[in-house]
Structure 1
């Protein structure tokens, strides 16, 4: 069975971070493993507190996985501190996984900062050059490039700049712009727009984590980068379309919609029919 490793923070609400990543791996047919970099106390409305995991524990988690279990792809999410970024970069150089999907998580849906400002430069210098693909949203890409992104031409310029930082490719997500949420794939040779359909829902907690994890899972199964992205986009679109209205804030995506549907889960079809 193919495997994927997520290196990210834990979300006590279950909609993002490690929890979303492992659900996504399972839904996309790979065995998921995890290295937890931070523990967050959060729900659909807020992040109440964050505690970074001690560096020695992070390193032990990485070693424990890589020394025993084959890793077909790595997804990197919330890292929080400069020291954590440096440690992850050092160990990615050591173990050299074939695929690294870097999701530069900076701010939660509720507006809480998940990456310390002083860690951004370390992320740019140490991790972006190791990435097979970087998957920022518009605000994250603006931070990484120092550019204001207001349209497609700006997205192209920002993507070129991110690849110029050393990444092999970038998927710049366009959901924060007006109109349809079209994403841009760029890898120095290819400029490809991946069309999306805007779904009117507030339940978008963890969607960035989910998309990057789906791409990692597809790469782990041997798909090309473009195919992995297309399949990942299809997966997250369905997960958002049939998202779950849990909590009072931004509810989670429905990671197992297809599984529930195929299993004839009672209640799912009636929920779908009411949409």
Structure 2
């Protein structure tokens, strides 16, 4: 049985499904290692313009697998403390891979996103929730910290520090309607995967370097030390696409001719 499924419902959008529904797609290494590898492979596929992440069954991802976590790669002969460090490093690499992926990543959150599953959703660029979806920063419920896999960095930036503090410190559930209200997700959709694919198709209609540079500046903006420095990076990206492609001229012609623009990203 494959724990990670990849489909292309339309040529330009890939849907990656965590496929261990009996464990609510928990973050066992048997799931996460092939998941990370598939993301890297998709990042190298230049025909893919957007990636959708979802879960099989009633869960998106339930976080750490407390019963059958499996074994991470390349840990033979390590002591227990080093084994733990390598395990965490492997899971952290998934967050970083999603952030660095060339394509925008859309989380189609079909159900529970708990602990590491909440982190996984936050590492995506856009989040769409099904009505049954809910979110929990579960570390605190398990006698640990609620901070893991970038959660204490990403959640405050998504919803503000006060709400993030309250959710992480109380360990309470956030239902889909509240998640939409506070900006944790963009919208609620009955057919959450179909809606995510639709958004991916819209993104695919724009200039490829334009989309990639927009994602890059949005991600880098979270770390920017000053507005002035970030605006310079934005400006260079804008000039890059303006000078090296004929996209602006094509967009202008298309508006005059009342037709969709066809971006070829070349001169």
TM-score, scaled relative to structure 1: 0.39
Name the one with the larger helix percent.
2
Larger Rg: 2
